[in-house]
Amino acid sequence: MRQLPLIFVLMILLSSNISLDNSSLRDERYDSTSARATGVDLSVTNSSYSYANSVDEDKYRMFSSNFPILGFSKPYELYVVDTMVNVPISANIVVENFGTNPSGTIDINIKLLHNEYTQFEIVNDTVQMASLNGGSSNSIKHQFTPTYSGNHTIQITATSTIVDDNHNNDVWSKGFAVGYQYYNCDVLTSWTVGNLWSSNADAALSKGKACHVGAGASATYSNGMQTSLITPAMDMSDAVENPHRTNGITFFYTGSAATNDHMKIYSKNSAGGWNELATISNTIDNNFNDGSNWQTFSVSNKGFASPLIPVPQADFHSQSQFKFEFFSDTSGVDIGYWFDDLVILYDQKVKPSEYSLSSNGVSTTGSLPGDWGSVRVEVTNDGNITDSFIPSLIGLPNDWQVYYSHTNGIALNPQTGVTLYPGESKQIDLKIMPDVNESTGFTQMTFKAYSDYYNEVNTTLPVQFQVLADRIPLITAPEQRPNCPPGNTCTFSALVENIGAATDVFDLTIDQTSLASGWQVGLEWTQASSILVRPDTPVQIVAK
């Protein structure tokens, strides 16, 4: 029976400008109990962040979203990170019940999603909040630790034990940035420190000292200088190749330089050369008696404005470094520059340990030489991230053919593979055709599926394919043509051989369409219409 495939298309509406007319989806029959309002309408209205301990807060707060900062005036929007990689952060989550009735116990789910991957959850935690009366709100704190730097998204969902009347406001979502490295310039150990560069306390932000080129606030640098401060080498070879958001560096800076004097910032490429990123010149503040004024950058990149100076993606490698180089001519001098709170942010690739595949055999259908058979296998994504697996078959004999298909028969592209969400399993068919001259028997091969992201992540499965024996009947006519007088019946014999390789039962039929009018031919009444014929044992049949 022919089966018609049913194809269901799931349309994901990503834009808030797309709306659906409920009348077009409405069933004419209603369940009055399911349509009844419960008076519960939960919504996460805000989430703010603070460091879990004073040590981290003191080190990272200047360029973080925690606000306000005592003794430092900056706009709320001026921040680069919400926390640093592998540094615990505490989220203060506010939930409100816009309904009129108590909500029942509330589950609050916190997910931190990596923006560069499909459905990779860096964090997936759930905490409980007590019931909220209608029209009231409450907050709860939860601590988590991001394990990947980069531009992520935090999603917080409030779900009550009582059905919510409005699901449109259940999820609170916002960007969440995680920095990779943060330097306070209080210690320059492992840095390459050039002439007149130092860790100086005359102007500073986080830890009482800043990186300074010059001789302090009460002296000047020299004419004709070219001097550099270079960060330690950092292994950033796990950077995403083409991120959606800016990857780069930033810092606060102050001080002053004479006309024509300036400081340039560079990133080191993989060949050892330096790529210029930005230039600082002129005066920000040259008198610290009344405190110090600080500036940072505002750069539009990839559709967003932020303090991050974009760094070429190729400059994130195993020996990445950044250089601050000061130049002065002979026309004048000044106090020089200070910079502090150097932040480096880039999107880290997901580690291979997040990926895992397994496989199982489902069924096998052998074939005759020159015909197609199949082996059906099932592959499961046991990892924490959506992955695509690439199928292959190891040990396929020469002159055999193979291709891969979905179970509905549609061929799949072995270059793009099959996508699996975490925990998902899919079956595919290995379509195999032995060579037309192949001998019968079993052939051992190995199915291998490997991750499209990391080839070293793979699963292997021994598979066995049977080349079936063919069954070919051959009829040998009598040596002498049978004859008898008109109106009489005579019998004759024929020999049936099986010239194939496997025993089989052959059904006997006689085609009389070519006989002359009045003639009849049939099997002798003692002759069975089905005969068992072995390859090495011909069978004689009798007809009349």
Residues of 89-121 as b/e, b for ≥16 C-beta within 10 angstroms?
bbbebbbbbbbebbbeebebbbbbbbbbbeebb
Q: Rounded to an integer, what distance in angstroms lies between the CA atom of residue 342 and that of residue 231?
A: 10
Tell me which amino acid residue 75 is.
P
Distance CA 227, CA 195 (A): 6
CB 224 within 8 A of CB 328: yes
* Per-residue model confidence (pLDDT) at position 71: 67
Beta-bridge mates of residue 360 = 378
If asked whether residues 63 and 166 sit together in one domain, one would say yes
339 and 463 in a single domain? The answer is no
Q: What is the CATH number of the domain that holds 413?
A: 2.60.40.10
Statement to judge: residues 203 and 341 lie in one domain: yes
The pLDDT score that the predictor gives to residue 8 is 25
Residues of the chain with pLDDT below 70 are 1-35, 71, 501
HEC sequence for 79-94: CCECEECCCCEEEEEE
Verify that 189 and 281 share a domain, yes or no: yes
| Euclidean distance between CA atoms 416 and 51, whole angstroms | 42
Question: Is residue 510 included in any domain, yes or no?
Answer: yes
66 and 118 assigned to the same domain: yes
Q: Are the C-beta atoms of residues 351 and 407 closer than 8 Å to each other?
A: no
Q: Are strands 504-507 and 274-281 parallel, antiparallel or unpaired?
A: unpaired
483 within some domain: yes
Same domain, residue pair 93 and 217 = no
> Could you tell me if residue 502 is inside a domain?
yes
Strands (E), 66-136: 83-84, 89-97, 106-114, 121-129
**Long-range CB contacts (< 8 A, 24+ apart) of 445-448?**
445/393, 445/394, 445/395, 445/396, 446/393, 446/394, 446/395, 447/359, 447/375, 447/377, 447/391, 447/392, 447/393, 447/394, 448/391, 448/392, 448/393, 448/394
Last residue of a domain, one of 451, 467, 483: 467
What pLDDT is stored for residue 492 in this prediction? Answer: 80
* Structural domain includes residue 25: no
Q: How do residues 5-28 score in pLDDT, each as one tens digit?
A: 322 222 222 233 323 233 333 333
Strand duo 89-97 + 181-183: pairing: unpaired
Domain identity same for 311 and 206: yes
Residue 26 lies in a domain: no
Name the domain boundary from 178, 213, 245.
178
What is the tally of structural domains in the chain? Answer: 4
Give residue 72's pLDDT. Answer: 72
* Beta carbons within 10 angstroms of residue 520's beta carbon: 9
In the block, residue with structure tokens 């550099």? 228
Contacts of 118 (CB under 8 A, 6+ apart): 386
Q: Tell me whether residue 28 is in a domain.
A: no
| Domain contains 6 | no
Whether residue 375 sits in one domain with residue 396: yes
Instruction: State pLDDT tens for residues 341-357.
Output: 999 999 999 999 999 99
Alpha carbons 412 and 419: distance in angstroms, whole number: 11
Amino acid identity of 520? Q
Q: Which residues does residue 177 pair with via DSSP β-bridges, in sequence order?
A: 151
- Domain boundary among the residues 284, 316, 345 is at 345
In a domain, 227, yes or no: yes
Tokens coding 379: 């592959």
pTM of the predicted structure, to 2 decimals: 0.75
Task: Answer yes or no: are the C-beta atoms of 414 and 404 closer than 8 Å.
Answer: yes
269: Cβ–Cβ under 8 A, 6 or more apart, which residues?
A: 275, 312, 314, 315, 317
* Residue range of the domain that includes 511: 470-544
Answer yes or no: do 67 and 189 share one domain: no
Measured over the CA atoms of residue 55, residue 61, residue 64 and residue 68, the dihedral's sign is positive
Strand, helix or coil at 168? helix
**What residues contact 542, with CB distance under 8 A and at least 6 apart?**
491, 492, 493, 523, 524, 526, 527
- Estimate to the nearest angstrom the gap between the alpha carbon of 176 and the chain centroid: 18
209: domain CATH number is 2.60.120.260
Phi/psi class of residue 329: alpha, beta or left (left: φ > 0; alpha: ψ in -120 to 50)?
Answer: beta
512 & 492 share domain: yes
Query: What's the CA gap between 152 and 68, in Å, rounded?
Result: 23
Statement to judge: residues 462 and 476 lie in one domain: no
Q: For residues 187 and 237, state if they share a domain.
A: yes
Q: Which pLDDT does position 5 carry in this prediction?
A: 33
